Every structure is written in structure tokens, then in C-alpha cells.
Amino acid sequence: MNNSGDPLYFEKLATIATRLKDHAGMIVIAAHVDPDGDAIGSLLGASRALAAFGKTVLPVAVPPRYLEWMTTGNELTPKLEVLPEGSLLLVVDSAEVSRVDGVPMNQVGIPIINIDHHGSNPRFGELSLVSPDKACVDGQRLGCCTGRGIHGSYR
């Protein structure tokens, strides 16, 4: 387990923000099984921020009943059997590939960006930003958005 902060944190943050900004297709966002407030909040925050920036997003999760108040209408998709062609997968708050919920993690040709704060994360994905020195993923998500001009109401 690596619980130290990433010395290249800001460089990786900028790279991820640029990759999200420049991606022309859909951005599918997923979190871990049995999502808690950090997982749902990070997923919804990323989705809303990217949508405010004009990105096409598809957040995938089933919130527990006590967190349903965080969502609006049909904002979440419960599960995808196949990721849309040309999409990018943004995984938030999931320390292991096996714990990512609602999306196929073995689909060939889909780039994966992994943003997490668990020291046990093996740094999976094309790009990963894992910072155990952060209390939650949401702070990192805000850095990605505000650092590249992505602003808007997140509710």
C-alpha cells in the first residue's frame, strides 16, 4: 500500500483535465460497488461539472436509499453491459478494478482514467491520479474542473 501523496499530482491533474476536455465522445463515469457518499458525490460532481462544460456524460450508479436525495430525476444509469463506442471511462473512488460497479472493465479500446484516494489502489487505467493524502476524491475532481476552466452549478 502506498499512502504517500503523488509528487507529480499537479502535472497528472493537468493531464487528466486536458484529456477530459479534449475527449470528443461520451464520458462514462463509474464508482465502486455499494457506493457511499464519497462515491456518489464524486460521481455526480464530476458528471455535473463536465456537463456544465459541454461534455456528454453518462454517470452509472445505483445510490443507496439514504443518498437518493443527491440525484435529480433520471440522472443516473443503473448498469451498462457495453460501453458506447468512442467513450472514455472515468472511474472515481474505486480502489480496485474488481470493485468498479455497473460497467464492463474489460472492454477493449476504451481508455480508462482512474481518480482515487485509497493507498491500496494499484494505479490502473491509461491515466491515474491516486492521492491518499486527500480525504476524498471530490477535492481532486474539483481540481480537474477548476484548473481547466470547467465551471458551473453542480446541483
pLDDT band with cut points at 50, 70 and 90 for residue 68: confident
Query: Quick one: fold of 9-111+124-146?
Result: inorganic pyrophosphatase (n-terminal core) (3.90.1640)
Instruction: Give the C-alpha separation, 71 to 46, whole Å.
Output: 13
Element (H, E) at 18: helix 9-22
Instruction: Give the C-alpha separation, 106 to 103, whole Å.
Output: 9
Mapping DSSP to helix (H, G, I), strand (E, B) and coil, where does residue 144 land? helix
**Per-residue model confidence as pLDDT tens digits over 94-132:** 999 999 999 999 998 999 999 988 888 899 999 998 887
In sequence order, the β-bridge partners of residue 115 are 92, 129
What confidence score (pLDDT) does residue 150 get? 45
The counts of H helices and E strands in the chain are 3, 5
* Residue 145 clears pLDDT 60, i.e. is over it: no
Instruction: Give the C-alpha separation, 132 to 2, whole Å.
Output: 8
Domain boundaries, the chain: 9-111+124-146
